[in-house]
Amino acid sequence: MNYVHLESFYAVVKYNGFTRAAAHMNKAQSAISAQVALLEKELGVKLYEVVAKKVQPTPSGRRLYESIAPFFEGLIDLQRSIQNPEEGHLAIASSQNNILYRLRAPLQRLRERFPKVRLRLITIDSHQAVEVLRSGDADLAVVRMPVDLPPDIEFIRLPTTPIALIAPLGHPISRKKSVTPAEICAYPLVAYHPEEWLRRHCDRVFQSHGCTPDIVLEARSAEIVKAYVRAGFGLAIVASLDFVVRPDPELHVIPVDRYFGHDLTTALMRRGRFQPPYVRFLLDLLADSPARGGARAESAGRR
């Protein structure tokens, strides 16, 4: 396949049409169209269709785009790294809790080592991670492991944190040092949204113990979950990381990792995309591994 043809197709999908692609590439629109047509002829498949005056990739076009996008997106980072490896921009997508508690110390060390790197933090839910990576809005996503991780995304498992039960002070269950899933189900529960990994994980644990929790409120944010537990809406099952960093005097924390295990958080990135030195440095910090060889990324098929 011809590099110029692939670059033209990448631009058409990236910038949502031939006109914008031509403007970004400083080429005539007719030239872009001709190059994409030659690529379709070479592959023998239709790569895009026009729907409501918008260019949309076909399933074959989407697979091609997802395969070549990391290469073209990484060229800019590669050029910057060659010219000045100490400078650059890094966009990180994560949950509010991760940004507040898990990322703060590693980012402080990153700033000390690479003071000329400019950072951008994007608050997302776990299910949005793949979308922001593919769109190029984020270079790295630190989220709970998505259920369906596509093959163009690779991941690094981060150190786990125990799962805990939180209760408002004075709640009857707060007198216990340990509780079972059945005992938790005896009280109302504030839970994460069903799309969140921790919610699905807890549902499976409750089901395996033959009990169904009375979920009175659902939310995506840990801070919202904690706020409604403080207000007396019910108990909640959360990752204990934020309580280790910043204890909450209004909540009682009971370990339940005997039954619910540990929270699974991962660092996600586009497979095959060039990673500048400062990204590799941060990944090593997040994975809590020596920086001698870099954190090891895994593909979806190796889970």
State residue 196's pLDDT score.
Answer: 83
**What integer pLDDT is reported at residue 302 of this predicted model?**
42
Residues in the chain: 303
- Under CATH, what is the fold of the domain 161-262? D-Maltodextrin-Binding Protein; domain 2 (3.40.190)
Give the C-alpha separation, 226 to 234, whole Å.
10
CB 213 within 8 A of CB 189: yes
pLDDT at 289: 42
Strand 265-270 and strand 140-144: pairing? antiparallel
d(CA 157, CA 202): 20
What is d(CA 191, CA 132) in angstroms, rounded to the nearest whole number? 25
CB-CB contact of 284 with 291 (8 Å): yes
pLDDT tens for the 303 residues of the chain, in order: 888 899 898 889 888 889 888 888 888 989 999 999 999 989 999 998 888 778 889 999 988 888 888 788 777 666 666 766 677 889 999 988 889 888 999 999 999 999 999 999 999 988 889 889 988 889 999 998 765 778 888 888 888 889 999 999 999 998 898 899 999 999 999 999 998 888 999 999 999 999 999 999 999 888 899 999 999 999 999 987 655 556 788 899 999 999 999 988 899 998 877 788 899 999 999 987 433 333 445 555 444
Global pTM value: 0.66
How far, in Å, CA of 36 to CA of 43, rounded? 11
What is the model's pLDDT at position 298? Answer: 56
User: For the chain, where are the alpha helices, taking DSSP H only?
Assistant: 3-14, 18-25, 29-43, 59-83, 96-97, 104-113, 129-135, 181-184, 197-208, 222-230, 241-245, 257-260, 277-287
Q: What confidence score (pLDDT) does residue 146 get?
A: 65
What is the β-pairing status of strands 188-192 and 235-239?
Answer: parallel
Please answer whether residues 194 and 218 qualify as being in contact, where contact means their C-beta atoms are separated by less than 8 angstroms: yes
> Which tokens belong to 86?
């100490």
Domain 86-159+264-302 is in which class? alpha beta
pLDDT of residue 246: 64
What pLDDT shows up at residue 292? Answer: 31
CATH class of 3-57: mainly alpha
Indicate where the chain has its CATH 3.40.190.10 domain(s). 86-159+264-302, 161-262
* Separation of first and last alpha carbons in the chain: 31
34 Cβ contact list (under 8 Å, min separation 6): none
User: What is the rounded distance in angstroms from the CA atom of residue 270 to the CA atom of residue 129?
Assistant: 11
| pLDDT reported for residue 294 | 38
Is 170 within 8 Å of 196 (Cβ atoms)?
no
Q: Do residues 160 and 133 touch, judged by C-beta distance below 8 A?
A: no
Question: Contact 227/221 with Cβ under 8 angstroms?
Answer: no
Q: CATH 1.10.10.10 spans which residues of the chain? A: 3-57
